[in-house]
């Protein structure tokens, strides 16, 4: 790269610091995920559902949104996204260990069911894609109140077959709502490969809803950033929703309860590992001359320390009290088993 020439990220309006911050967040998500798997295998926690291979697109999206203002309805693999949106590794660990202090649910939900109102992260459930109509409703409310914000939601390609995907997208299309729907097409819905899930391409469905559809290489951080940023600009200009299909690969099994060697080969996984967005973005930053192996080593050590501290904290933190099961059923629930059942 010659002196004086703008780098790709600068062309997109990202400073060197922001590009590096993006990389750091991707790496933090990856390292969190790897630790969560170890903790489950060691018997310290019950369950982990992984996002390995998807962090690049997740983090890049978050950087293209107005964090602190927009509303986010992520799905259960979006560790990279929620870290970029402001959740801390300590908070993720508290959720992983199902502790009382877990900000997502106070130890009520499985890990990966994100929620954090202060950060605009909307509570989610396990029946997939119910969040798409919610995102449409939030976008509707924002439009009614003349706020220039967007609702951003994600899901997997398998989930895109649910009725709520279609109903929510069509609803948003009718009113031209400020909504961004990103399908993280990781090629698998548990064991079912995309060609057995989808009769056509997810992105093409946007045509039927009357809005823009964009397919993007989910391993290309800057390209994802660009399309999400453009989608956001369209949304606040009143031009309606965008459906983004980000192509990626689920490097991990579906969850810690899944053996992926029952339905795919090591060779296939290895082939896709070689296309992983994380090392690709690192190489890019090094080519730009703003990152080095030395800095990378320092960062890895820093993240490891942070994860160690978060793990220890969460491990020692108290579980919710049994009687707290009765709290927060209704606004007036005081915890007693009363006529409120």
Q: Which residues are catalytic?
A: 250, 254, 263
By the rule CB under 8 A, 142 interacts with another protein: yes
What is the C-alpha to C-alpha distance for residues 41 and 66, in angstroms, rounded to an integer? 37
Residue closer to another protein, measured from CB, 5 or 339: 339
Which residue, 117 or 266, has its beta carbon nearer to another protein?
117
Is 340 near another protein (CB under 8 A)? yes
Cβ nearer to another protein, comparing 140 with 317? 140
Least separation in angstroms between CB 6 and another protein: 39
Query: Element (H or E) spanning 184, and its range?
Result: strand 179-185
The site that binds another protein (CB under 8 A) totals a number of residues, namely 45
Q: How far apart are CA 2 and CA 11, in angstroms?
A: 15
Residue 330 interacting with another protein (CB under 8 A)? yes
Residues 6+ positions from 33 with CB-CB distance below 8 Å: 48, 50, 51, 52, 55, 79, 252
Q: Collapse the DSSP code of 2 into the 3-class scheme (helix H, G, I; strand E, B; otherwise coil) and give the result.
A: coil
SS3 280: helix
* Dist. CA 33–CA 41, nearest whole Å: 12
The answer to whether 50 and 33 have CB atoms below 8 angstroms apart is yes
Decide if residue 289 touches another protein (CB under 8 A): no
Cβ 72 to another protein shortest distance, Å = 12
Segment interacting with another protein (CB under 8 A) among 14-22, 43-51, 255-263, 328-336: 328-336
Cα–Cα distance measured from residue 136 to residue 125, given in angstroms and rounded to the nearest whole number: 16
Buried b (16+ CB within 10 A) or exposed e, 122-139: bebeeebbbbbbbbbbbb
Beta bridge partners of 185: 247
Spatial contact of 132 and 153, defined as CB atoms under 8 Å apart: yes
Q: Which of 328, 334, 335, 336 binds another protein (CB under 8 A)?
A: 328
Measured over all CA atoms, what is the biggest interatomic distance in the chain, rounded to whole angstroms?
74
Identify which range of 59-67, 134-142, 268-276, 284-292 contacts another protein by CB under 8 A.
Answer: 134-142
Nearest approach in angstroms of CB 100 to another protein is 9
Q: Which of 3, 6, 144, 337 lies at the binding interface for another protein (CB under 8 A)?
A: 144
Residues 157-216 that bind another protein (CB under 8 A): 163-164, 167-168, 170-171, 174
Q: Which is nearer to another protein, 141 or 288 (CB)?
A: 141
Rounded least distance, CB 327 to another protein, Å: 7
**50 is an interface residue for another protein by CB under 8 A:** no
Contact segment (CB under 8 A) with another protein among 21-29, 61-69, 301-309, 321-329 equals 321-329
Q: Which residue in the set 151, 182, 206, 310 belongs to the binding site for another protein (CB under 8 A)? A: 151
Q: Taking the complex as a whole, how short is the minimal distance between the CB of residue 121 and another protein, in angstroms? A: 10
Site for another protein contains 134 (CB under 8 A)? yes
For CA atoms 71, 75, 76, 78, the dihedral sign is negative
- The whole-angstrom separation of Cα 179 and Cα 150 is 6
Binding mask 92-131 for another protein (x = CB under 8 A): ----------xxxxx-xx---x-xxx----xx-x-x--x-
Of 93, 60, 86, 103, the closest CA to residue 226 belongs to 60
- First-last CA distance in the chain: 67
Q: How many CB atoms lie within 10 A of CB 288?
A: 16
Residues that bind another protein (CB under 8 A): 71, 102-106, 108-109, 113, 115-117, 122-123, 125, 127, 130, 132-142, 144, 151, 163-164, 167-168, 170-171, 174, 327-331, 339-341
């Amino acid at each position: 790269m010659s002196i004086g020439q703008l780098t790709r990220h600068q062309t997109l309006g990202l400073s060197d610091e922001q590009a590096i911050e993006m990389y750091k967040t991707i790496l933090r998500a990856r390292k969190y995920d790897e630790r969560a798997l170890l903790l489950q295998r060691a018997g310290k926690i019950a369950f982990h559902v992984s996002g390995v291979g998807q962090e690049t697109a997740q983090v890049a999206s978050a950087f293209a949104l107005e964090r602190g203002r927009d509303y986010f309805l992520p799905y259960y693999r979006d560790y990279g996204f929620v870290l970029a949106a402001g959740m801390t590794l300590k908070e993720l660990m508290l959720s992983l260990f199902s502790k009382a202090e877990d900000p997502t649910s106070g130890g009520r939900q499985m890990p990966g069911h994100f929620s954090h109102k202060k950060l605009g992260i909307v509570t989610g459930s396990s029946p997939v894609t119910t969040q798409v109509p919610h995102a449409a409703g939030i976008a509707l409310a924002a439009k009614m109140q003349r706020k220039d914000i967007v609702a951003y939601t994600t899901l997997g390609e398998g989930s895109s077959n649910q009725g709520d995907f279609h109903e929510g997208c069509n609803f948003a299309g009718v009113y031209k709502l400020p909504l961004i729907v990103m399908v993280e097409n990781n090629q698998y819905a548990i064991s079912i490969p995309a060609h057995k899930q989808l009769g056509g391409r997810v992105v093409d469905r946007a045509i039927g809803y009357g809005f823009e559809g964009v397919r993007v290489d989910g391993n290309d951080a800057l390209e994802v950033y660009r399309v999400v940023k453009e989608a956001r600009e369209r949304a606040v200009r009143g031009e309606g929703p965008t459906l983004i299909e980000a192509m990626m690969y689920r490097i991990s099994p579906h969850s810690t309860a899944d053996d992926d060697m029952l339905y795919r080969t090591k060779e296939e996984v290895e082939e896709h590992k070689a296309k992983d967005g994380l090392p690709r973005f690192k190489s890019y930053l090094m080519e730009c001359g703003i990152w080095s192996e030395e800095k990378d080593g320092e960062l890895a050590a820093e993240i490891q320390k942070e994860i160690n501290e978060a793990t220890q904290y969460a491990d020692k933190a108290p579980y919710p009290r049994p009687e707290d099961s009765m709290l927060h059923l209704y606004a007036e629930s005081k915890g007693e088993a009363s006529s409120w059942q």
